[in-house]
Chains A and B, each alone.
Chain A
Amino acid sequence: MSTDTPPAPAAAGSSPGVPPILRLEGVVKRFGRRTILNGVSLSVARGEVVCFIGPSGTGKSTLLRCVNGLEDIQGGRILFNGQSVEAHSRRIVGVRRQIGMIFQSFNLYPHLTALENVTLVPIRIQHEPRREAEQRARELFRKVHVEQRADAYPGQMSGGEQQRVAIARALAVNPSLLMFDEPTSALDPETVGDVLAVIEDLAREGRTMLVVTHEIGFARRVCNRMVFMDEGKIVEEGPPDSMLNDPKNERTRQFLSSVLRT
């Protein structure tokens, strides 16, 4: 594993005066009696790449899903660009248009081609002229290296190709925040690298991103800040190198030693 210098952050984690793009204050999420998130507070600056690591079932994915209101919250609050995120309000649509989400299982629309997947919202919902939307989609396909697959249906593509089309779909609405929910967990090992490379390119462009991942090496290369979560709480956070080389918390140490051993 290399120890390259991480990409320079476009903005520091807590630069004074600049309002954070995302702010979580004591967020609590419960499913029935089970508490999934137990008071999570976090502030993300523009241009920051934050990676979430930790054991399965500790609420990392749920945290992302609360940010764009796919899940409602039972306590605390979430501010996106200073605006309160409320899952069941009408304004949630406006918040979601500024947040691109990439799912573990891609969730491409199987009845549409790759190109139609990417242009659906720009053409049908935002009423952009078809030519412009398609041209932009093809540019995005070049960027994620699937330009030759524009007319293929999801069922005809490999998992890695599908996930890169899903990234293009998320980018098509010019989001100011990208969220990746275990983007490579459902992929064959040989296609993981292609997808990670695309995500690293996006990080280098200075995009603001939240990434839930089990790929620790990738996380170290790509992020400015690593957040270790366990049992619905943020246990430890900091720059990736110091976190990986010198974890302060006992649970972080245990987790890292178990995943880095393999």
Chain B
Amino acid sequence: MTTGIADYAGYFLQGAAITIWISWLALLLSAVVGTIFAAAGLSSLWPLRVLATAYVETFRSIPILVLLFFCYFGLSLVFSINLSPFVAATIALTLELSSMMAVIVRAGIQSVSRGQWEAGLATGMRRWQVWRYIIMPQAIRVILPPSVGVYIAALKDSSLASIIGYVELTKTGLLVRESTGRNFQVLVVVAALYFVINYSISLVGAALEKRFQIVH
């Protein structure tokens, strides 16, 4: 038995690490971009609200695979912009996930009552201080649970990057399969790794949720 897949454990772990890394990066970028569009959506200026709606509805509607092809092949064909598989995958994931995050963050901000704003402003806080000390700490408890779901979605969606040749967990599995021919075992290992990663994140998410809970 010279081709046991245990010999490839290092490759699998590396693939898993890359999957965790790229989806984490996409999640962080999505949180920032999503928060910007959430704020735009709540703005008193209508052009900003229209922009936010257009962004959310556009990228929520396009499948991640199409975005991925657009970033990797489309930009190259039309604008001669050649992105590496890593950059193309990160951008595609961020576009997709930030549209989800925008909706989640917006709901979180709206969950904090108007009276909280007024109490903060009435004590002489500036708007950003009210955001920082009063609104965000309360909004985070509404934002956190669905954000965990977004991260898990990112981890799974990042497997599509294997199609443009980015060597994350799924692509690693495909490569190992080619060199060992052990189709089923490879699939089981890849599936098990995804499960372990995602279930761990669920557990961390549940712990965080508890940590941020407000005493009633």
Shortest beta-carbon distance from A199 to chain B in Å: 17
Partner of B138, one of A100, A105, A111: A111
B215 at the interface (CB under 8 A from A): yes
Interface string of B100-143 (1 = CB under 8 A from A): 00000000000001011011011111100100011001100000
Q: A169 contacts B123, CB within 8 Å?
A: yes
Smallest CB–CB gap between B12 and chain A, Å? 42
Which of A46-54, A78-86, A119-127, A248-256 lies at the interface?
A119-127
Chain B residue nearest to A172 (CB atoms) is B123
* Structural contact, A110 and B123, CB atoms closer than 8 A: no
Known interface pairs A107-B115, A109-B119. Does A121 touch B138 (Cβ–Cβ under 8 Å)?
Answer: no
Contact for A109 among B121, B122, B134, B216, CB less than 8 A:
B134
Query: How many contacts between A and B, using CB within 8 angstroms?
Result: 63
A120, B122: Cα distance in complex, Å: 13
Q: Report the minimal beta-carbon distance from B135 to chain A, rounded to whole angstroms.
A: 10
Q: In the complex, which range does the number of interface residues on chain B fall in?
A: 10 to 19
Known: A110-B214, A156-B215. A70 touches B118 (CB 8 A): yes
Taking the complex as formed, is A97 at the interface, i.e. its CB lies under 8 A from any CB of chain B?
yes
Chain B residues, CB < 8 A from A120:
123, 133
Is A94 part of the binding interface, using a Cβ–Cβ cutoff of 8 Å? Answer: yes
A110→B215 CA distance, assembly (Å):
8
- Per-position contact with B for A5-18: 1 when CB-CB < 8 Å, else 0? 00000000000000
Interface residues in A147-180 (C-beta closer than 8 Å to B): 153, 155-156, 169-170, 173
In the assembled complex, the Cα of A177 lies from the Cα of B4 at a distance in Å of 80
Choose one: A105, A110, A125, A155; the contact of B124 (CB below 8 Å): A125
Interchain CA distance A211-B121 in the complex, whole Å: 19
Q: What are 9 sample pairs from A and B whose C-beta atoms fall under 8 A apart? A: A70-B122, A96-B121, A97-B124, A103-B115, A109-B134, A110-B216, A120-B123, A124-B129, A170-B123
